[in-house]
Every structure is written in structure tokens, then in C-alpha cells.
Amino acid sequence: MLKIVGPLGSRAEDRLRASLWDCVRQFLIALSVALLVLLAVVRGGAQDTEGIAGFVAARVPEERQLEAKLKKIPDPAHAESNLRRLTSEPHMAGTDASRRVAEWLRDQYRSFGFEADIVSYSAWMPQPREVKLELTKPETKTLASPERPVEGDKDTYDKRAVTAFNSYSPSAEVTAPVVYVNYGMRSDYDELTQLGVSVEGRIVIVRYGRGYRGIKVKLAEEHRAAAVILYSDPQDDGAVAGPTYPNGPWRPVSGIQRGSIMYTEIYPGDPLTPGVAATVPATRLLAADATNIPHIPAMPINAQDAAVILASLSGEQAPAGWQGGLPFSYHVGPGDSELHMKLVMDYRERSLYDVVARLRGSEDGEWVILGNHHDAWVYGAADPGSGTASLLEAARALGALAKSGWKPRRTLVICQWDGEEEGLLGSTEWVEANRAELQQKAVAYINTDVGVDGPNFEASAVPSLKDLVRDVARDVEDPKTGRSVEQAWIESVAREKKNPSGTGRQAPPPDPSGKVPLGALGSGSDFSAFLDHAGIPSVDLGFTGPYGVYHSIYDDFDWMKRFGDPTFTYHVALAQVLGMLALRLDEADILPFDYPAYALEIEHAATDAFTKTTNQDDQDALEATLDAAAHLSASAHRASQALRAISDVPLDPQKGSEINHALAAVEQALLAPNGLTGRPWFKHTIFAPGSYDGYAATPIPGENDALLANDSAMLHREAEALSQALLRASVELDEIARMAHEARRPQASAGH
């Protein structure tokens, strides 16, 4: 034990001991990173020439041939035809048009050879009846102007497009002065406080970006604002970023971002049935008791209307960094400006239509699941139609392989979700309905959402599956460069780091292994219920680029054909990536989970949390999680070594199945049975959306939420829950090591 000798007091001695211990720990982590990188280089060289992670050497040629056949099947003309059909009419969730899309998708999957059906739920959802906004002081002007149609793009003239609104806003009528709050995030309210400006009883106007819109409304509600106006500033996704539609990919001044403001960081899905499926007979909460719904009204407007409001504000000049792209000096307000808002929302139970398709494998007790949502705010060419069109091509390719004689090893399940835009409704209800079976059978969940809006590959995943994504990206050709998707990905990450594009997307932090980084999974798409609630290892991916028409009427087929992917070759590349991920997970002898990498990321996150407090009692609690993380790392390396020892040993099918079930179940060991403090629906102790981020992942969220709240009692509870989860995962990994040693024994005996 380290002993400090000298005139230091006990508190100073404790702080110094903690600091030195952290230095030692950081050195050990750095050393483990170096060893992992060396191991990755050695193993990566072998894989590049012949191996595939998870496959015995004798089966690699067969898998390579299968993948080569799959990659030849997706076709740009098919993908384009898919997208044209998907964008043929507006199809918001809860409408007959959404049902028609679901029925068409079901029939497509059946034509590919899948068993396919529609699974319906009944969720509490709003649609707008009246949306009204007017400036009443210092002059009178009618606002809430609609998006202007574009000559040559017939879809922008369609009267069936829903009026721009924020789903899950309450009905209300408010007249009040206006205050500008920049992006409406926590730091912005701190600056307002320093300026002596209160938003209580006032309407706040905030710009989109830097965080989920629901968090902006939540913060406004916490600061006692009367209502919220959300707008898209030209600096963020409009003319300052580049040419606007129809001359470029960015948002025109009349473009409006629709979107849900459900507090999905508390729980997603049907607001009235948290934790249980929203079937017709389900017991439902009263609407007043739903904790994930705002209590103040909110509505989105376009930049041209925002200019009228912002130009009327006086008061303090906006702080540095608050100036947007409109051609005048921004002020905070309130001054003499006043707005009148009236919203009338039609809330009722409306039907959701999930499509669930299956290609049965010889081992139906193990499922590889892929998913994408089919509902859209209007046409949804990029969001989500590009993902749907690509997933259809991947399914067509897998179906063609099956028709030619291939039999999947595991069952492939492909899902098309409804109600994602409203708050991840369809996927959440399906997971809640099937949670026990999923936890028994699901190997992994692969998600795509905005599948293609440009040429730059981007992915997020649980750490154990990041190398799998990299490996597949290495084996798919990038259409633009002719090199691999992985190489183009590395180059795009380097370019983005050097010259940020201004798209609002945050590049993931450097990976501890030194490889091309993948992001962490928070929320904002349909992987959330799988990972955060059920503990199913998950991946989310797509190709990105300049995309300013998000959630607007302009996200249509014409935009995609002009700017997003004119040749539809990136739709093909995405279909190839999805199809190959499915094949690698479906056909693997031993599932390719990398738990040493997972343990390393957990150690980094735990160390980061430890350094955020100087309270000795709190540090003792956090040190227990550091010890549990070190225990997990040791178990992960033992399991990895044991699995490598049987990588070329013919396995008894029963033993192989037992090992694979155990590998997939490690993620579930990281769930806390009672969930996170204040939001029990979220059960994952390692990843969840931040309480004040909404989409972005917060690592070890329980501890970090407690540190943010400066709540020592909560910190101790969450540290204990995390430590127990890490130790449960360690036990699972030790059992995997034991099973792997047991599987090798007959081979060793035969050698004597």
C-alpha cells in the first residue's frame, strides 16, 4: 500500500493517493491498449489474407463464396424503384398511407421467400387540427407560413403533406413576450442567468441543433417558460452551409423541421403503456400520468418566420456564439415583442403497423435481427426511405441465396417499424411484447435509419461488435473511390476532423485501439429498445453527407435523385454491408464478439467518472467500479484466449450453441434489474441517452447522471448497481472460458 510520509493532512494524503492511483491505472490502461493494438495488427494481417473472425479456417472459402454471390445481387435500378414506390405519397404514422406502405413491404418480403406478417399495436398519438402563430407586438403579422413548393418537383405541391408540428405537444393558447435562447441547452440558460434574463412566463425561441428537440422543450419547461418555438437557422443547415434546395442539398428558408418532442430519455414508445406492449387489451395510464410528455406547447417554424420574430427583439445583444445566419444582429429580448400561439391537437389511440419477416434457419433458437422504420413525416426519401430501399435489396439478395439452395444457419428476422418518428413506437412495443424470447434467442440487432444521404460511411455499435463492422466495411467496395468502404471511411473521418462539415453530426472520439472510430449508441432510432431495455447487442449504420432537408417536405425522391445518391450506388453499398453483416453473424461458428475491447472502453469510462469528483466517500464508491471493471477485463481476456484456442477445433454442435448463447447473453448481464434512477425503463448500465442530451450516448449513465445532479446518495446506488453488473458479466465470461476449455478436451485427449 502507498504510504505518504510528511506533514500532509489526511484529506490531502487521500487526494494525492487517489491522484497517484489514477496515474498508475492510466499507465496500465495505456499498456493494455498497446498490447491490444499489437494483437489486432497480428490478427488483422491474417484475417486480411484468409481468415474471418468467428469462422474456422475450413469454412472460410465457403463463406467468401457466399458473400461474393450476395454482393452481386443488389442493384441500383431495384433500389431506385424501391425508393420511388416508398415516396409515392406522404405516409406519417397513424395514417392509412402508413398501413399501405406496410402492406406493400410485407408483400415484397414474401416475394423474396420470407415469411412475413404485419404486427399491429394501438398507441396514443396526436395529429394537428389547428396550428396558428402571429406576431402581435410591436406590429401584427401572421406567421406559421407553410413550405413553398419547388417548380419541377411535383411532390412539394401535394396538399396531403401534414402541417408542420411537434408531435406530443399539448393543445394550448398562449400570448406572451419572447426570449431568444440560442440552442436552448443547459449552457445557454446559464448564460441567460448571467445576463439577468428570465424566461418564466415567456415564449422562448430556440434554434435546432446541438441536441434533441425534446430536451430543448424539457429545459424550457424546467425554466417555467410558457411555450417553445423551434426553428432551423441558415447557419446550421441552410444557406450558410451551402446552396439550398433545389440548387443544393441544404434547407431553403421556407423549410421546416417537423419532429417529436416526447421525452424519450425517460422512456420511448407508447406514452400510456411504459414497459408493456400497447396491445388493444393493455392496461393504460391516464394521459396526465405519462411522464414522457411535455406540459408546455411547442411548434416548429421556418427561418423566414424566425427572422420576423428575432428582428423584433431588443434587450441585450446575443452573447458570442449565439449569432446565427440571418442578416441582422441577434438580441436576447424580450423588449416589446409578443407572440400569440394556438395549437389544437387531436389525441387518440391510433394503429401502428410493424412488418416482421423471417427466413428460417436450421437453428431457429438463434436470431439475427435487422431493422429500419417505414413511417415518415412526409415522403422521407432519406429518412427513412433510403434505409428501407437498401434493406429490401439486402433481403432480396438473402432470399435469392436461399432460393439457390443455401440454408441459413440461424434465423434471419427483418423488421420494418412504424411510428419511429413519433418516439420509437413500433420497435419499442415489439420489443416489450417479445422481450423474454428476444433475450433467449437474439444474437444481435442491426439498425439502419437514414441509410443514405451522402457518400460517407458512419456507424455506431456496442464495443464488442465494432471490429465486425470494420471487417465488413473492409470487404465492401466504396462506389466513389473504388477502394474499400473502410478506407474511404478512414479518409472521411480524417477530413471531418480537419474541416468540420457543419452538418451538426458529432464525430466519435478516437477509438482506444487506434482504429477508425465508431460512435456509442444512445437513442434516437430503433436500436434503443433492443439495447437499452432488452440488452441485445446492437449496431446502427449508414452513409452520410450534406443533408439539410431533414423532416421537411423537401426530403423527397427528387432531392435524393439530385443530391443524396443520384446513381443509387450507395444504396447498393449499404445493402451489401447489411447483407454481409447478416451473413457473418448468421454463419459464424463462434459469434465474433470482442469483449476485451468492450472491457477496455468500460475501464476508460469508469476512470473518467472517477476523476470528476474529489469527495473521498464518493471516490471510494467509484473505485469499487474501477475494481469491477478490472475484474471484467481479466475475465474478458481469459474468455478470448480460450475461444482462440478452439478457433480451429471442430465443435460439437450442442457445445457450440451453448457457447454462442452465452456470448450473446453477456450484454444482458450489464442490465440493472431496476433500471436507472428516475428512468427505470432504461436498464443498461453502460449505455443510455443522456438525461440532457436526448440522442447522444452517455457512458455509464447512472454514475454520470448522479455526478451531473451532484447527488451523492444516487451516486452510491448507481456505483453499486454498475459494479454488480460488471461482476455478473465477468461471471458470464468466466463460464464461457470454462465451456471453451471443455470443448477442447476431446481434441486434446485424441492427441495423446
Dihedral sign, Cα of residue 527, residue 532, residue 535, residue 539 = positive
Q: Which three cell numbers stand for residue 79?
A: 433500389
For the chain, give percent helix, strand, coil, nearest 5: 45, 20, 35
Q: How many residues comprise the chain?
A: 752
Cis check: omega of the bond before 479, within 30 degrees of 0: no
Among residues 81, 80, 100, 105, the alpha carbon closest in space to that of 90 is found at: 100
Nearest 10 degrees: Cα torsion 328, 332, 336, 338: 100
Mention every residue, 6+ apart, whose C-beta is less than 8 A from residue 28: none
Do the Cβ atoms of 663 and 736 come closer than 8 Å? yes
H or E segment at 115? strand 115-137
Q: Rounded to 5 degrees, what are φ and ψ at 539? A: -140, 145
Give the three-state DSSP class for 665.
helix
Q: Beta partners for 343? A: 131, 172
CA distances from 492 to 159, 315, 501, 564 (A): 39, 43, 11, 16
Give the three-state DSSP class for 543.
strand
Distance CA 232, CA 310 (A): 13
Whose grid coordinates read 400510456?
272
Do the Cβ atoms of 468 and 53 come closer than 8 Å? yes
Distance CA 136, CA 117 (A): 52
Nearest 10 degrees: Cα torsion 471, 477, 478, 479: -160
Catalytic one of 393, 420, 623, 732: 420
Rg, C-alpha atoms of the chain: 26
Find how far residue 518's CA is from the centre of its chain: 12
Question: Within the chain, how many helices (H) and strands (E) appear?
Answer: 21, 16
Maximum Cα–Cα distance across the chain: 95
Do the Cβ atoms of 490 and 562 come closer than 8 Å? no
Q: Beta partners for 354? A: 119
Q: Beta partners for 460? A: 519, 540
Q: Which three cell numbers stand for residue 534?
A: 432488452
Q: Rounded to 5 degrees, what are φ and ψ at 448? A: -135, 150
Q: 498-520 b/e with 16+ CB inside 10 Å = b?
A: eeebbbbeeebeebbbebbbbbb
H or E segment at 396? helix 386-403
718 is catalytic: no
Distance CA 545, CA 528 (A): 24
H or E segment at 117? strand 115-137
Dihedral sign, Cα of residue 91, residue 92, residue 93, residue 94 = negative
Do the Cβ atoms of 666 and 731 come closer than 8 Å? no
Mention every residue, 6+ apart, whose C-beta is less than 8 A from residue 467: 40, 53, 515, 592, 594, 597
Residue numbers annotated as active site: 420
